[in-house]
Amino acid sequence: MATTIAISGKGGTGKTTLAAMIIRLLCSQSQGAILAVDADPNACLGQMLGVQPEETIAEIREQTRQKQPGNEGTDRLRSLEYGLQQAITEAAGFDLLTMGRPEGPSCYCAVNNMLRTFLDKLSSQYQYVIIDNEAGMEHLSRRTTNNVDLLCIVAEPTAVGDLTARRIFELAKQLPISVKETGVIWNRTESSKKLEGIETFGHIPQDKTIFDAAMQGKTIFELEENSTALSAVRKILESKLNHSFQLTKNQN
């Protein structure tokens, strides 16, 4: 059974950077196969990991939905499974799956049911699944996975950050899936905040090396070993996964 870590937050809070740092740390420890899922329509996780996906699940879903009625059944299932396998981009230490845009106004229920079955089967092949979500958690709310071990809400320590964290926390409780632990990770701050009724997983300080790496077009694997943000994420992972992580520079 895979350990699934889902990350959500308002745009610009640094959730994709957090997802990428988690993947780097897991890769550095050779803790087993890792599946990175970019579930944000504004897909940036691949770029941060140094991987360019060739096809998205949204494109495959649309192609499958538009199949002629006579192709339903086993042939349609095989077509979707083949497309899903083609959408997996293999990299050093992890695989990347990019979900793409949400579905349009047509009915996608049958395709989403098939897709969920295949994603559950796919997840079982990995030790870790890291999902970078949009704030609304569209793909989780569509039940494209059934179980989440850690739901990390990324927020900045502002009034808007507090409100957004609370909204995502309440939405998570309504999802038709199992979420074992939900907590806030406060980003770009020197200390954690406490929100009543919501666990705090930790905080990540403002880190100039993150900004410099982004400006230079570097991947997360080129981030300096002495990054204070990377150290903070390591501390959070050690606490939540009960595992010791070493800070090593892992060139992808």
Q: What is the DSSP string of 172-189?
A: HHHSSSEEEEEEEEEES-
Does 251 fall in a domain? no
Cα 47 to Cα 37, 138, 245: the distances in Å are 13, 21, 24
CATH number of the domain that 80 lies in? 3.40.50.300
Given this model, what pLDDT does residue 142 score?
61
Amino acid at position 246, single letter: Q
Return the amino acid letter for 35: L
Residue-number span of the structural domain to which 192 is assigned: 3-241
Exposure letters 145-157 (e unless 16+ CB within 10 A, then b)? beebbbbbbbbbb
Partnered with residue 90 across adjacent β-strands are 95
Alpha helices for 124-221 (secondary structure H):
138-141, 159-174, 208-215
199 lies in some domain: yes
Query: Is 72 domain-assigned?
Result: yes
List the chain residues with pLDDT less than 50. 250-252
Number of domains in the chain: 1
Token output for 106: 């047509």
Q: What is the pLDDT of residue 252?
A: 46
pTM, rounded to two decimals: 0.88
Q: What is the pLDDT of residue 32?
A: 81
Distance CA 131, CA 4 (A): 8
Location of structure tokens 């907590």? 183
pLDDT tens readout for residues 183-200: 999 999 999 999 999 999
User: What is the C-alpha to C-alpha distance for residues 223 and 209, in angstroms, rounded to an integer?
Assistant: 7
Whether 246 maps to a domain, the answer reads no
- Structure tokens that stand for 65 in this block: 């939905």
| Residue 252 is assigned to a structural domain of this protein | no
User: Angle at Cα 217 formed by Cα 216 and Cα 222, nearest 5°?
Assistant: 90
**Closest CA relative to residue 103, chosen from 146, 59, 144, 68:** 59
Q: What digits encode the pLDDT tens for the residues 122-144?
A: 888 899 999 998 766 665 666 55
**Predicted local confidence at residue 16, as pLDDT:** 95
Measured from the Cβ of residue 184, the count of other Cβ atoms closer than 10 Å reads 28
Q: What is the pLDDT of residue 43?
A: 85
Task: Examine residue 248 and state whether it is found in any structural domain, yes or no.
Answer: no
3-state secondary structure at position 243: coil
pLDDT of residue 68: 52
- Residue 187 has phi, psi (to 5 degrees) of -105, 150
The verdict on residue 138 lying in a domain is yes
The pLDDT value given to residue 106: 57
Report residue 53: phi and psi, to 5°.
Answer: -70, 140
Q: Is residue 214 part of a domain?
A: yes
